[in-house]
Amino acid sequence: MTSESTTARVTLSHLDELWFQVTGTRCNLTCNHCFISCSPHNNSFGFLSRTEIQKSLEESRQLGVKGYYFTGGEPFLHPEMVEILEDTLKIGPATVLTNATVLKDEWLQRLQQAQSKSRYSLEFRVSIDGFDAETNDPIRGEGTFARAIRGVKKLVHTGFLPIITATRTWKDSEDSSMLSGFLSMLKQQGYSQPRIKLLPTLKLGAEQNRSGGYTDQQRVTGEMLQDYDRSQLVCEHSRIVTTRGVHVCPILIESPDALLSNDLATAAQKPYTLGHGACFTCYQYGAICSNISTGSGPSGASA
Amino acid sequence: MSVRLALFGGIYNNYLALEAALEAAKALGVDEYYCLGDIGAFGPFPNRSFPLLYENQVHCIQGNYDDSIGNQLDNCQCGYTDPRDNYFAQISYDYTLENTNADNQKFLQSLEKEHVLEIEEQRILLCHGSPRKTNEFLWESTTPLHFLDIFFHQREVDCIAGTHTGIKWHANTSLGQFVNVGVLGRPENDSTTNVWFTTLDISRDGIQHNFHPVVYDYDRLSREMQMEGLPDEFIETIQTGRWTTCLEVLPQKERQRLNH
């Protein structure tokens, strides 16, 4: 039970990260661990238009936003994704979270040019959940490993250094061997200094069906936040724009209490009470939505 | 009338580069010297930088490393998250803590976290990482100009100078100018062995920055690092000008410079 005195309320310190649910819940894949159950047929959130995004980008400048993130669904299903990233790179750094299965050489060449002209980085985060088809495809779908690797090779060939993000569908104790597997596979594919980020599973959406949801005890309390570095929490420095409005973080867009406002400035001022099991995961692992990668693994110098 | 400041970034125990930088700054007719923190780390013989700082009246700002050494904390608070980066950071931190004498630790503990100068009607804020956080990495490719303007607006200054990332850069925004002064401690991942410091020329007309390469005896530094049993990976960086550790915090553009 969470009483009023132990409520875990988090105020945004500064809007460092602005996210866009650019293609809503539409994805060309149907991964069985997706925390918002994206699929080719899930239209519960729609596509944001380039004009809507331009408006938010403009508003964000007044708020001093530090970086822009694009997620979905699969962002590259958006017919104007390249233009949206080009718009963004004119004012700040952009990160796009993709499954890399639909990338076209022509788009990547344009984006490399846009990045060269900009003072800012364009980061690609590519989701791959196993270092071979046997481990990846049962989660992400038949043939997806080969398609994603083709995408990674295109990115590397165009000069990008994608961050490979893998959701930990294995035991924590297997991190080291999984990372070694990823590193050697990526090097074999011609990516000489791979960047990898491991993500915890979020037991929402499809993942809730796959591995079970959160228990009632898996909640963050006010006491737990004492002496805790709140900047590790996504809601302390981020907000996300969807077709429904501005939500507290990219993970909770389906929770009604996470929809804060229609405009950024108001949403930035609203504190949020950490009432969800997913908040517990965010608390436990910290910085789960940031771009920081690993080049080695938990064993340190052995890499 | 114009005042010239020399701004040194992280020294990281590289007292040989500090010596060379002081000499170069003197030749440039510098009026005042500042160090923006992280006196220790990475290199050999931590106590050797301090006499140079004291003798030349270098005004020092406290970096995360200085806070840690001064207060004998468990780690350097460098802000890395990658296990390999943290592994090497800890080797360097344990060595520096063990070999920094009590007087120098006390000096580090006494330092202020930021300093605002008012010279020729210009206000200049000196800090280590950013005005809001000592160990914040402000990289050129991930720091929008409108983000910096928030600091200029809040702090009512014309110029902000920081270090921490290890790579110099400069930007003019609509409200002021930001300069990352680079570091003296190690080369900046550009395959050259020199390191960098910055001068600011301050007059009523404005503030002009200049970056200065520092050539120093890196072979001697390497030998001394080896004598002290510091990791080969650190020595390789000094010898080649390529980072072998602390890479995972680098954004893409800074990483692409050497295709790391």
Q: Does B255 touch chain A (CB under 8 A)?
A: yes
Q: How far is Cα B201 from Cα B178, in angstroms, rounded to an integer?
A: 14
Q: Does A91 touch chain B (CB under 8 A)?
A: yes
Q: Among partner residues B132, B142, B150, which is closest to A121 by beta-carbon distance? A: B142
| Exposure b/e, A166-193, CB count within 10 A at least 16 = b | bbbbbeeeebeebbbbbbebbeeeebee
Check pLDDT > 50 for residue B177: yes
What is the share, in percent, of chain A residues with pLDDT greater than 70? 94
Complex-level ipTM: 0.94
Predicted pLDDT at B90? 94
- Judge whether A300 and B86 are in contact, CB under 8 Å: yes
Other C-beta atoms lying within 10 Å of the C-beta of residue B35: 30
A contact test, residue of B75, B81, B82, B246 with most A CBs within 10 A: B82
Q: Does B174 touch chain A (CB under 8 A)?
A: no
Average the pLDDT over B71-76 and give the result: 94
- Do B144 and A120 make contact, defined as CB atoms within 8 angstroms? yes
Q: Which of residues 67-96 of B touch A (CB under 8 A)?
A: 81-88
CATH no. for B3-255: 3.60.21.10
Q: Which residues of B touch A301 (CB under 8 A)?
A: 84, 87-88
What is the share, in percent, of chain B residues with pLDDT greater than 70? 99
Q: How far is Cα B237 from Cα B137, in angstroms, rounded to an integer?
A: 20
Q: Does B132 touch chain A (CB under 8 A)?
A: yes
Residue A58 belongs to what domain range?
Answer: 4-302
Average the pLDDT over A39-43 and give the result: 96
Burial class of residue B27, CB neighbours in 10 A (0-12, 13-18, 19+): exposed
Can you tell me whether residue A33 is helix, strand or coil?
coil
pLDDT in tens, B5-61: 999 999 999 999 999 999 999 999 999 999 999 999 999 999 999 999 999 999 999
pLDDT in tens, A135-163: 999 999 999 999 999 999 999 999 999 99
Q: Does A264 touch chain B (CB under 8 A)?
A: no
Check pLDDT > 80 for residue A287: no
Check pLDDT > 50 for residue B260: no
**Tokens matching residue B38:** 């992280």
- Judge whether B46 and B209 are in contact, CB under 8 Å: no
Q: Does B154 touch chain A (CB under 8 A)?
A: no
Q: How far is Cα B213 from Cα B24, in angstroms, rounded to an integer?
A: 9
Q: Shortest Cα distance from B144 to chain A (angstroms)?
A: 5
- Do A161 and B259 make contact, defined as CB atoms within 8 angstroms? yes
Average the pLDDT over B135-145 and give the result: 96
| Exposure b/e, B66-94, CB count within 10 A at least 16 = b | bbbbbeeeeebbbbbebbbbbbbbbbbbe
Predicted pLDDT at B259? 55
- Do B88 and A67 make contact, defined as CB atoms within 8 angstroms? no
Which DSSP letter does residue B61 get? Answer: B
- Do A294 and B253 make contact, defined as CB atoms within 8 angstroms? no
Would you call the peptide bond into A212 cis, given omega within 30 degrees of 0 as the criterion? no
A contact test, residue of B252, B253, B255, B256 with most A CBs within 10 A: B252
Predicted pLDDT at A172? 82
Q: Which residues of A touch B165 (CB under 8 A)?
A: none
User: Who has greater pLDDT, B245 or A45?
Assistant: A45
Q: Does A120 touch chain B (CB under 8 A)?
A: yes
Element housing B103 (H / E): helix B102-110
Predicted pLDDT at A300? 33
| Exposure b/e, A17-47, CB count within 10 A at least 16 = b | bbbbbbbbbbbbbebbbbbbbbbeebeebeb
Q: Among partner residues B82, B132, B143, which is closest to A294 by beta-carbon distance? A: B82
Enumerate the domain spans of chain B.
3-255
Q: Total domain count for chain A?
A: 1
Check pLDDT > 80 for residue A292: no
Element housing B136 (H / E): none
Burial class of residue B236, CB neighbours in 10 A (0-12, 13-18, 19+): middle
What is the share, in percent, of chain B residues with pLDDT greater than 90? 91
Predicted pLDDT at B258? 66
User: Who has greater pLDDT, B116 or A303?
Assistant: B116
Which DSSP letter does residue A101 get? Answer: S
Predicted pLDDT at A299? 33
Average the pLDDT over A228-250 and give the result: 95
Q: What is the mean pLDDT of chain A?
A: 92
Predicted pLDDT at B1? 86
Check pLDDT > 90 for residue B217: yes
Please name which of B21, B157, B43, B23 lies closest in space to residue B91, comparing C-alpha atoms.
B43
- Judge whether A258 and A248 are in contact, CB under 8 Å: yes
| Orientation of helix A144-157 relative to helix A133-140, angle to 10° | 110
Confidence of residue A294 (pLDDT cuts 50, 70, 90): low
Q: Which residues of A touch B167 (CB under 8 A)?
A: none
Tally C-beta pairs within 8 A across A and B: 92
- Do A123 and B81 make contact, defined as CB atoms within 8 angstroms? no
Please name which of B16, B40, B137 lies closest in space to residue B91, comparing C-alpha atoms.
B40
Predicted pLDDT at A205? 86
- Do B253 and A91 make contact, defined as CB atoms within 8 angstroms? no
Q: Least CA distance to A124: which residue of chain B?
A: B252
Average the pLDDT over B145-150 and give the result: 98
Predicted pLDDT at A288? 74
Please name which of A73, A15, A12 lies closest in space to residue A48, comparing C-alpha atoms.
A73
**Tokens matching residue B60:** 């020092």
Q: Least CA distance to B136: which residue of chain A?
A: A231
Check pLDDT > 60 for residue A3: no
Average the pLDDT over B89-114 and give the result: 97
User: Who has greater pLDDT, B130 or A303?
Assistant: B130
**Tokens matching residue A107:** 């788009």
Can you tell me whether residue B235 is helix, strand or coil?
helix
Check pLDDT > 80 for residue B81: no
Predicted pLDDT at B246? 82
Q: Least CA distance to A287: which residue of chain B?
A: B81
pLDDT in tens, A172-192: 888 889 999 999 999 999 999
Q: Which residues of A touch B253 (CB under 8 A)?
A: 115, 120-121
User: Side chain identity at A205, as an amino acid letter?
Assistant: G
Q: Which residues of A touch B83 (CB under 8 A)?
A: 294, 296-300
Predicted pLDDT at A187? 96
Predicted pLDDT at A201? 87
Q: Does B142 touch chain A (CB under 8 A)?
A: yes
Predicted pLDDT at A258? 97
